[in-house]
Amino acid sequence: METIKIHNAVELWQRQTSLPSIQTFSQNLDHVIGNNGFMLSSLTELLGLPGSGKTQLCLQLCASVQIPKILGGLDAEALYIDTNTNFTTSRFREILNATILRCQRLIETPLNYIEEDCLDKLHYINAFGLEKFCAFMYRMSTFIEEHPKVKLIVIDSIAFPFKEGISTRKRTGLLFRQMADLQRIAVEKQIAVVLTNEMSTRVGLSTGSVVGSLGDSWSHRCNKRLLLSAPDNSTHRLALLLKSNDAPNLVGKFQVGTDGSLLFALVS
């Protein structure tokens, strides 16, 4: 019989504050999300309309998780689960090379980083369709055991596999079981999980509103919800922290770098 260990608040505080985070290269965005970036052992949901920067932020995190420890990084690997053909190797290479260049500027000694080695640290899964997505989620624990250096799991997007061919009741039960297993893996293996989600229209009595897909109950499954938006006729974008278990609701501005690296520049 498995014994239940009871922790005191000091032990929990020490554990939570000792966990590292994956930075975004933007002090503004890291400040909005709290914990100096995307903290390990947590689930973060990125909401937003198409073109708001969800996938690009995920690609930046896949590059940032590889930053060497000498610069305060994790020197780790990432797993990218693509459910909607959003991933492009060329875009990730641009972001990766720009990230390496920025790291190189921070230290005097050359970084022994080869692009091919860095590309090897990103594990890509084609999970188009509900059957393929569920099949891989079922063997997620085995994959993580075989790849212990993975410290970031990206699912882009979580809603797409459940669009057709399944009732709302079955979808909710299946999705919640999968997320419970994923959260257990994230906590036990100290992995940051980032999920992108789409927006849908909820029709009210007189007007409609744009909300996150998968319903109200789903919004409680993640530790944090970050809403990204791209205001019309503007060069900057907005990040709004809608929900967090350890940070206040904040909004911040960021810009996408012109070199394709999604370098989140601080905007006053």
Low-confidence ranges of the chain (pLDDT < 70): 1-2, 13-14, 17, 108-110, 201-210, 216, 233-235, 257-268
> Residue 34, CB half-sphere, CA atoms under 13 Å: how many?
19
Q: Report the pLDDT value the prediction gives residue 234, as an integer from 0 to 100.
A: 63
The domains of the chain are located at: 22-199+207-266
Cis omega (within 30 of 0) for bond into 90:
no
Structure tokens at 259: 């070199």
Q: What φ, ψ does residue 222 adopt, rounded to 5°? A: -95, 150
Q: Report the pLDDT value the prediction gives residue 14, as an integer from 0 to 100.
A: 67
pLDDT digits (tens, 9 = 90+) for 206-262: 444 557 777 767 777 788 999 998 877 666 788 889 888 777 788 888 777 655 454
- Residue-level length of the chain: 268
Q: Report the pLDDT value the prediction gives residue 208, as an integer from 0 to 100.
A: 45
Amino acid present at 191: I
Question: Are 157 and 83 a contacting pair, CB within 8 Å?
Answer: yes
- Fold for domain 22-199+207-266? Rossmann fold (3.40.50)
Q: What φ, ψ does residue 173 adopt, rounded to 5°? A: -65, -45
Q: Where are the alpha helices (DSSP H) in the chain?
A: 9-18, 27-33, 54-64, 89-106, 115-120, 130-138, 140-146, 168-189
121 Rama sector, left if φ>0, alpha if ψ -120 to 50, beta otherwise? alpha
Amino acid present at 194: V
Q: Report the pLDDT value the prediction gives residue 258, as an integer from 0 to 100.
A: 57
Residue 66 to residue 76: CA distance in whole angstroms: 5
Q: Report the pLDDT value the prediction gives residue 24, as an integer from 0 to 100.
A: 83
Residue 154 to residue 207: CA distance in whole angstroms: 34
